[in-house]
């Protein structure tokens, strides 16, 4: 459809998206290196929120285990960076733990291409395995949520206990270069920021394509009436498993970007608290609206950073008050608030128009 034939509301929406993308790409011109790095971290979180919104907002599956997928992606990238920093020698924490040679499953991570593929595929395959057996057996609702929490406990216990292979509670750190470029250099930080923006926009467009496609319509139908979908001849388990695996892959991708910006990964990133925070981003931003997930991740983490800087003694109480206020006064989240404003503007504009379609000034 030609652009000139699009509805006015659609044109305004496209203009807003274009303006937001342009602002993100131009942010390095206005922000300091520290603030730019913070924003890049928040945008990595937004990629996780997109995937979580796809399965919760559009499919009705509440996962409290996305921290595991995020952490797996982070560890995949950190393993490559650690090997590159070691320069062919055994990583320092392995030497301290008494190992004499590099474990076999670490060797493939000497390749950046393998690390990138593993950071996406390992979380996706784990979600595919978990989803296949749970959704096939029609485990859903609160039972599935508890199962994902159990996955978090298993993963964190495993990574903490295997210190010789994972770094234990300290995680993996002590690396500073990517393909020979210093991660701390301003030009490298700006390049990684631009890459994160590009990945976020690509993930948003891909998720939007999915929710607008037939696949997305089936997901919404499963969310609203799973038994009816089954009676119509569809297998909900196939769609639920596919959505869950895709969401986990996005979380792994975000974890890799996060490690490049922050320079550390540890089992605490895979814990229950980060997984619950991810759900809060989607809930506060607006469940079932992709842009709401992005807004929720960026705005809430910005508020968390601002409150902790300005009010170090009471920032957690302020964050709690913010959560309560949004849930009580904005049940549809930040995106719902913008939608209400847009509808109010549309009603006012329609009221200012006469029956003949001519707009008259308000008296």
Give the pLDDT of residue 332. 67
Question: Helix, strand, or coil here: 32?
Answer: coil
Q: For helices 290-310 and 272-285, what crossing angle results, to 10°? A: 120
| Helix (H), strand (E) at residue 182 | strand 181-182
What is the predicted pLDDT for the residue at 183?
84
Rounded to an integer, what distance in angstroms lies between the CA atom of residue 71 and that of residue 141?
Answer: 24
C-alpha span between 178 and 302 (Å, rounded): 27
What confidence score (pLDDT) does residue 362 get?
A: 39
Please give the pLDDT value at position 49.
93
Q: Give the SS3 label for residue 79.
A: helix
Q: pTM score > 0.85 for this model?
A: yes
Q: How high is the pLDDT of residue 78? A: 92
- Residues 319 and 306 sit within 8 Å (Cβ to Cβ): no
pLDDT at 331: 63
Number of Cα atoms under 13 Å in the Cβ half of residue 8: 5
Other CB atoms within 10 Å distance of the CB of residue 219? 26
pLDDT at 338: 57
pLDDT of residue 334: 65
Instruction: Give 10-residue mean pLDDT values along the chain (363 residues).
Output: 59 80 88 88 94 91 91 93 85 82 89 93 94 88 88 91 87 84 86 93 94 92 89 90 95 94 89 87 85 88 81 74 72 61 51 47 38
Q: Measured between alpha carbons, how far is 353 from 349 in angstroms, rounded to an integer?
A: 7
The pLDDT, as a whole number, for residue 277 is: 87
């Amino acid at each position: 459809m030609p652009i000139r034939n699009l509805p006015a509301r659609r044109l305004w929406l496209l203009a807003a998206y274009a303006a937001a993308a342009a602002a993100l790409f131009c942010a390095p011109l206005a922000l300091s290196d520290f603030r730019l790095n913070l924003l890049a971290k928040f945008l990595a979180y937004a990629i996780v929120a997109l995937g979580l919104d796809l399965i919760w907002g559009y499919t009705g599956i509440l996962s409290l285990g996305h921290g595991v997928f995020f952490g797996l992606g982070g560890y995949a990238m950190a393993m490559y960076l650690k090997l590159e920093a070691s320069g062919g020698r055994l990583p320092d924490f392995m030497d301290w733990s008494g190992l004499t040679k590099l474990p076999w499953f670490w060797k493939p991570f000497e390749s950046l291409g393998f690390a990138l593929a593993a950071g996406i595929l390992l979380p996706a395959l784990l979600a595919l395995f978990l989803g296949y057996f749970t959704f096939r057996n029609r485990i859903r609702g609160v039972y599935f949520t508890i199962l994902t929490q159990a996955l978090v406990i298993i993963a964190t216990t495993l990574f903490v206990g295997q210190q010789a292979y994972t770094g234990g509670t300290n995680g993996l750190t002590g690396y500073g270069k990517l393909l020979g470029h210093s991660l701390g250099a301003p030009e490298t930080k700006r390049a990684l920021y631009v890459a994160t923006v590009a990945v976020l926009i690509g993930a948003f467009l891909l998720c939007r394509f999915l929710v607008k496609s037939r696949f997305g319509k089936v997901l919404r139908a499963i969310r609203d009436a799973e038994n009816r979908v089954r009676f119509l001849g569809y297998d909900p388990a196939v769609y639920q498993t596919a959505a869950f695996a895709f969401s986990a892959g996005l979380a792994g991708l975000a974890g890799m970007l996060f490690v490049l910006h922050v320079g550390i990964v540890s089992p605490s990133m895979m814990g229950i608290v980060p997984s619950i925070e991810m759900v809060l981003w989607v809930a506060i931003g607006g469940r079932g609206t992709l842009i709401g997930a992005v807004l929720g991740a960026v705005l809430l983490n910005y508020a968390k950073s601002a409150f902790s800087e300005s009010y170090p003694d009471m920032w957690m109480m302020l964050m709690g008050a913010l959560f309560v206020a949004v849930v009580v006064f904005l049940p549809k989240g930040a995106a719902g608030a913008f939608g209400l404003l847009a509808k109010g503007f549309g009603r006012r504009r329609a009221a200012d128009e006469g029956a003949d379609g001519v707009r008259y000034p308000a008296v």
